[in-house]
Structure 1
Amino acid sequence: MSCGDEAGCPGALSWRARTRSSRVTFNPNSDIGGTNVKRAGRGRTTGLALGGGGLGVIAIFLIAQFTGVDLSGFLGGTEVQQPGAIVGQSLEECKTGQDANNSVDCRMAGAAASLDPYWTGAFTTLGARASYHTPEFTLFSGSTSTGCGAATSATGPFYCPGDETIYIDTAFFDQLSSQFGAHGGPLAELYIVAHEWGHHIQNLEGTFDTVDRTQTGPTSGTVRIELQADCYAGSWVGSAANVRDRGGNRLIEPPTDAQIRDALDAAAAVGDDRIQELGGGSVHPEAWTHGSSDQRQRWFLEGYRGGATACNTFDTKRL
């Protein structure tokens, strides 16, 4: 079912018509402490840029999606100066769900506190030979170094398989609204995190090594990878209200339909067709690398309704 504008679909309301009243909330008394989310410090190191194997495309596909920045120069495997070495600083101030409700950085810690136990259980249902382990999670501002090369705020959120780390400059969430026209809101932010976590799941499954990512287009392997990450994000949202903290308290309150629309809106805002339209050009499906707004919404809902096992985007003709 298409979820662009049809009645009865959680994404049916126009993103232009919504108010900002929908706010996903963490249980104020829940425990979000003890995650491995860190702030990156600043420094200078020298390291290898991306090689052409399993690292290259993964590190740049969201960059092209969100900003149009071409980092293909990193694919040569040459040595580069990286402007921001990671010096991990724990988010010690992020202890409760109330902290997550009040602060975007703590909201990232809250997302990790929920996503990690969810995938600890859900990963076993996917039949992967590998075992699950937690990705690293780094918040940065300005620039930082990664296992995939140097990154700046212009890069946008991304997952680097080289160091198994999610990188997010939370200033991007403001850009999601101001530059891409998304409605925004906490669940939209959490969707972005869950999408990146989905890439970590794919990395553990070996998907990056088995899928042809050299082609573009609405049914290409590259698009199927992205849509599966959207589906994995939706599967977590669908179960988030059932995830408990270490004391047995619910971490996130059940999302309302309006909050689900926020997440769908974020997915639509970064659809390939919408990005092309915002760039002032016409839509060229043959160049897609992430999927259309409709595709991204549809697969988010597939996961939301059916769980992680519903996210096989590789054995279907209809995306």
Structure 2
Amino acid sequence: MDFRDDVNLDASQVQDAGGRGGGGRFPGGPGGMVIGGGGIVTLIAFVLFALLGNVGGEPEPAQRQPPANLAEQCRTGRDADQSEKCQVVGVVNSIQDYWKKELPEYTTAKTVLYTGGVRTACGAADSSVGPFYCPGDQRVYLDLSFFDQLRTQFGAQGGPFAQAYVIAHEYGHHVQNLLGALEGGGSVATELQADCYAGVWARNAYEGGFYEQRFTDADIAQALDAAAAVGDDRIQRRSGGRVDPESFTHGSSQQRVAAFQVGYKTGQPGRCAPSDLL
């Protein structure tokens, strides 16, 4: 997944908010859920929130880390191949370039990079929430430490395209929000559609001119591996519990992989109807 060296990046689409370093706490979550201490409880809570725009609570005060000046650091595709934060800029640029061309009603959504904790229009979040989209301010929030957790806690192989898949999934939620599809939809259906939208972007990304070549089978394998790793059934097994489909919030590993593949194989957002993905 190499960017074209000479492609210009728009760093204004990504904000580095720095961070508090010490993380935060979540007194409560959606539906009165309480997010407690470590171990299995934290892992389950992390999964329920990861890749979903639900946040709440108040982060603990701690010393902030200074933000990076992305406008100076991330100018071209060459920078995106050499820096993780600039890579995020490049991926976000590519995703939004596609959706701007595909949807007349598309409006740009900024990605906010943070460390430890962040305040949003949806509440206050810490790094245990994982990547999420907040409809209230139409922003994607991302603590880059999540990608290490994706490997160490969820058993994913990781890699640049695994990261791109996660970001594309969150922008899938932004598309749903613009189309009025976030309200009233089932949780699993909403998540699978976002996976499908991520696959649609992956199919069409090369035409945007950001990448040196089309994504390889190895790139797509990273995305499929990441999608499988955060399937509800896989998480429930890793946490030592039994698999309970009635409690699924994001879909099984098989469903998530299949949803991405539908989007990638067809390259058409219209093929991502939730009823066709369940």
Select the structure of larger CA radius of gyration.
1
State the one-letter code of the partner of 2:13. Answer: N
1:178 equivalenced with 2:146 (yes/no) = no
Name stretches of at least 5 consecutive residues in structure 1 with no aligned partner.
1-23, 44-48, 58-62, 125-130, 212-220, 245-249
**CA apart distance, 1:66:** 4.0
Match of 2:120 among 141, 146, 150: 146
Closer, same or farther: CA 34–170 of 1 in aligned 2, 3 Å: closer
CA–CA distance in 1 between the matches of 2:167 and 2:138? 14
1:39 equivalenced with 2:16 (yes/no) = yes
State the one-letter code of the partner of 1:236. Answer: W
Q: How does 1:137-286 map to 2 (within 5 A)?
A: 137-211=111-185, 221-244=186-209, 250-286=210-246
Query: Retained in 1: the 8 A contact 2:200–2:263?
Result: yes
CA–CA distance in 1 between the matches of 2:7 and 2:45? 35
- C-alpha distance after superposition, 1:123-181 (max 9, x if no partner): 24xxxxxx210112100001111111111111110001111110001111111111111
**CA apart distance, 1:67:** 3.9
CA–CA distance in 2 between the matches of 1:51 and 1:184? 28
CA–CA distance in 2 between the matches of 1:65 and 1:208? 21
Q: How does 1:32-71 map to 2 (within 5 A)?
A: 32-41=9-18, 66-67=46-47
Report how many aligned residue pairs link the two structures.
258
CA–CA distance in 2 between the matches of 1:73 and 1:146? 9
**CA apart distance, 1:277:** 0.6
Match of 1:123 among 94, 103, 106: 103
**CA apart distance, 1:187:** 0.5
Tell me the secondary structure at the aligned position of residue 99 of structure 2: helix
State the one-letter code of the partner of 2:8. Answer: D
Where does residue 107 of structure 1 map in the other structure? 87
CA–CA distance in 2 between the matches of 1:264 and 1:51? 29
State the one-letter code of the partner of 2:194. Answer: A
Query: Retained in 1: the 8 A contact 2:98–2:208?
Result: yes
- Displaced runs of 4+ in structure 1, greater than 6 A? 49-53, 69-73
- C-alpha distance after superposition, 1:78-106 (max 9, x if no partner): xx678599x98651201111211111111
Cα RMSD over matched residues? 3.1
Query: Retained in 2: the 8 A contact 1:83–1:150?
Result: no
TM-score normalised by L of structure 2: 0.83
**CA apart distance, 1:273:** 0.3
Query: Retained in 2: the 8 A contact 1:191–1:263?
Result: yes
CA–CA distance in 2 between the matches of 1:282 and 1:115? 37
- C-alpha distance after superposition, 1:230-250 (max 9, x if no partner): 000000001111113xxxxx4
Closer, same or farther: CA 203–50 of 1 in aligned 2, 3 Å: farther
Name stretches of at least 5 consecutive residues in structure 2 with no aligned partner.
21-26, 34-42
Kindly indicate which of the two structures has a greater share of residues assigned to helix. 2
Identity %: 44
Tell me the secondary structure at the aligned position of residue 118 of structure 2: strand
**CA apart distance, 1:251:** 3.3
TM-score normalised by L of structure 1: 0.73
